[in-house]
Amino acid sequence: MIEYRNLRVALLGAGSVGAQVASLLLEHGPELATRAGAGLELVGIAVRDLDAPRTADLPRELFTTDAESLILGADIVIELMGGIEPARTLILQALGSGADVITGNKALLATHGPELFEMAEQVGAQLYYEAAVAGAIPIIRPLRDSLAGDRIKRILGIVNGTTNFILDRMDTAGESLEQALATATDLGYAEKSDPSADIEGFDAAQKTAILASLAFHTTVPLDLVYREGITGVTLAEVEAAKRAGYVVKLLAICERLTDADGVEGVSARVYPALVPRSHPLAAVHGAKNAVFIEAEAAGDLMFYGAGAGGVETASAVLGDLVSAARRHVIGGPGVAESTHANLPILPISHVTTRYQITLSVTDEPGVLASVATLFSEHGVSVEAVTQSVSSSEEGAHPTATLVIGTHEASEAALAATVAALGESAVVSHVTSVLRVEGS
Ligand SMILES: NC(=O)c1ccc[n+]([C@@H]2O[C@H](COP(=O)([O-])OP(=O)(O)OC[C@H]3O[C@@H](n4cnc5c(N)ncnc54)[C@H](O)[C@@H]3O)[C@@H](O)[C@H]2O)c1
Ligand SMILES: N[C@@H](CCO)C(=O)O
Ligand code: NA
């Protein structure tokens, strides 16, 4: 029997993910030790309430309410409490004492990442966070290691399961946004008290900041991630998208942009977009996540699977644990976060994409020409126009619905066009403006 060096592992938090991490570690400890080359001894679990119900049957003697004392002397600390404080302070303390830290805390990484990475670098410790983006799906390590020799052009991600579930229900079951949200809440996907982190795109924006930072070797602060949630998406839009061969998805987009002078910058943004049904992301149903990467040499890659769930996410945490343990065995300093490119983060106005605009207009001669003129005056090239619905009430002007697809145009030009359409006498209202991505 091989005698391994024993590593002391402290777990902070025993909620959905933490309880599963503890359970799997206790069950598979000897096998993980063989892979890691070191024993992995769970020395304690910091909890808020010793008697709270858990999703796994865990030895009570491991529980403590004193997280600070628990991390003293630990070789590896796993933070799964969530939130900013006390997670931030405890992680800084753990790193400061030389422990490697594993976390799934995207909210903390997206807001205080640089401070944590700096501390890790100072002491030669490592911070692992595979669980923070797209749960069980390996995406952090592929970006950091497997693709370190390539250049990422663009990432399109479905990184929030709740919103993907809601949009999928609207698309496949014809439910309204409200009905689909109620179903998501009943199934435990969306938070009952406050689903806004999911449906307003905050959760996706945090993950976008983390992905863009890694992909472009540049610190991307959360407040520079442009964000729109799904609350404005209507069933009519989803159904119109379906008829036109698209599906509406909330996308996390990280893109390398190059201006006319060849100067590079980064765009990080989250919004609901039309995705062609032929794109691999269109096949991501229910609460599943997927990250589609376009790399210069590797071409297109897609990573698909469970973006949430206690036991699924625990898989990512335990993978990090084995990596951390291996590093302890081998020794040497950790690899610092790579931010050498330090590219400027560009505002949404610099983005160029395609759009689909739906207008309600008066149905009479010359209207189409006036609308087309407004587009051309703002430098937006029209690709296709469909007059999809026509109606007329007695005594009123007949109205028509125009769906206008554009070629690539800048956000700035598109915004000016939409403003002009809103003021035009022939346009009753601009019903919908959606970006088209992935084509
Ligand atoms: N649930 C998922 O599917 C999922 C997926 C990816 C990432 N994550 C991330 O993993 C982390 C944990 O998520 P979760 O779903 O397990 O959350 P959770 O709310 O189920 O569990 C958090 C646990 O930490 C405990 N806790 C909070 N503050 C504490 C403190 N000061 N001391 C001791 N215990 C404390 C809570 O009582 C709770 O039991 C979060 O950062 C979350 O964003 C979760
Ligand atoms: N609320 C998140 C959980 C994982 O971060 C989601 O719906 O995907
Ligand atoms: Na992941």
**Secondary-structure class of domain 4-132+311-330 per CATH:** alpha beta
pLDDT tens, residue by residue, 208-265:
999 999 999 999 999 999 999 999 999 999 999 999 999 999 999 999 999 888 899 9
Closest atom of ligand 1 to 82 CA is 41
Q: Which of 80, 88, 91 is nearest to 131 (CA)?
A: 80
C-alpha pair distances (Å), 9 with each of 33, 82, 85, 101, 240: 12, 18, 21, 10, 53
pLDDT score of 336 more than 90: no
Contact by Cβ (8 Å): 208, 268: yes
Q: What is the DSSP string of 156-170?
A: EEE--HHHHHHHHHH
19 is in an annotated binding site: yes
Instruction: Pick the residue whose CA is nearest to atom 40 on ligand 1.
Output: 82
How far is it, in rounded angstroms, from Cα 271 to Cα 321? 34
370 is in an annotated binding site: no
**Secondary-structure class of domain 140-307 per CATH:** alpha beta
Phi-psi region of 409 (alpha: psi -120 to 50; beta: other; left: phi over 0): beta
Question: Ligand 3 centre from 323 Cα, in Å?
Answer: 14
Assign domain 351-436 one CATH number from 3.30.70.260, 2.30.31.70, 3.40.50.300, 3.20.20.140: 3.30.70.260
Every domain of the chain and the residues it spans: 4-132+311-330, 140-307, 351-436
Check: complex ipTM more than 0.95 = yes
Ligand 3 (ion): which residues have CB within 5 A? 130, 134, 137, 139, 316
Identical fold for domains 140-307 and 351-436, yes or no, is no
pLDDT score of 174 more than 70: yes
CA angle 186, 187, 189 (to 5 degrees): 105
Identify whether 288 is a catalytic site residue.
no
Instruction: Pick the residue whose CA is nearest to atom 3 on ligand 2.
Output: 308
How far is it, in rounded angstroms, from Cα 139 to Cα 289? 11
pLDDT tens, residue by residue, 64-80:
999 999 999 999 999 99
Cis bond before residue 138 (omega within 30° of 0): no
Contact by Cβ (8 Å): 349, 410: yes
pLDDT at residue 395 in the model: 65
How far is it, in rounded angstroms, from Cα 304 to Cα 111? 26
209 is in an annotated binding site: no
